[in-house]
Structure 1
């Protein structure tokens, strides 16, 4: 099954990148270009990373919603 239609990257190819050590969507993108065009496949890539035991990187919006967004540093007095 295709994960990235823009670059014709299959699920098997993404899993190969994971097996070769990729732990983030960015690392997968470096290896096979999946997720570098329209971005619609990034959630599936994150899910495949999660299935492999890697901690998937949430989008900034999701991170904020679930409380993982970076907190602003306290202002020095």
Structure 2
């Protein structure tokens, strides 16, 4: 699905900027892809995609640990 119509950036492009380029903000996504924001309507959706890629839980990075931090620990016997 397209996130930024002006620059033809899709969800996968945002995720790639986060994974390969370390993008954490929309400006960094644009920089990674060599473009600039135009109308700004994509900012909220792009932030949500960046947050989703940061807390995916598919790896053992610190961010994934933060996702599971709210799980109650099992009491030792």
**TM-score, normalization: structure 1?**
0.61
Q: What is the alpha-carbon root mean square deviation over aligned residues? A: 1.6
Q: Which has the larger radius of gyration?
A: 2
Deviation at 1:52, TM superposition (A): 2.1
**TM-score, normalization: structure 2?**
0.61
Other-structure match for 2:12: 12
In structure 1, stretches of 5+ residues that fail to align are 55-77
* Displacement over 4 Å in runs of 4+: none
Whether 2:27 is the aligned partner of 1:26: answer: yes
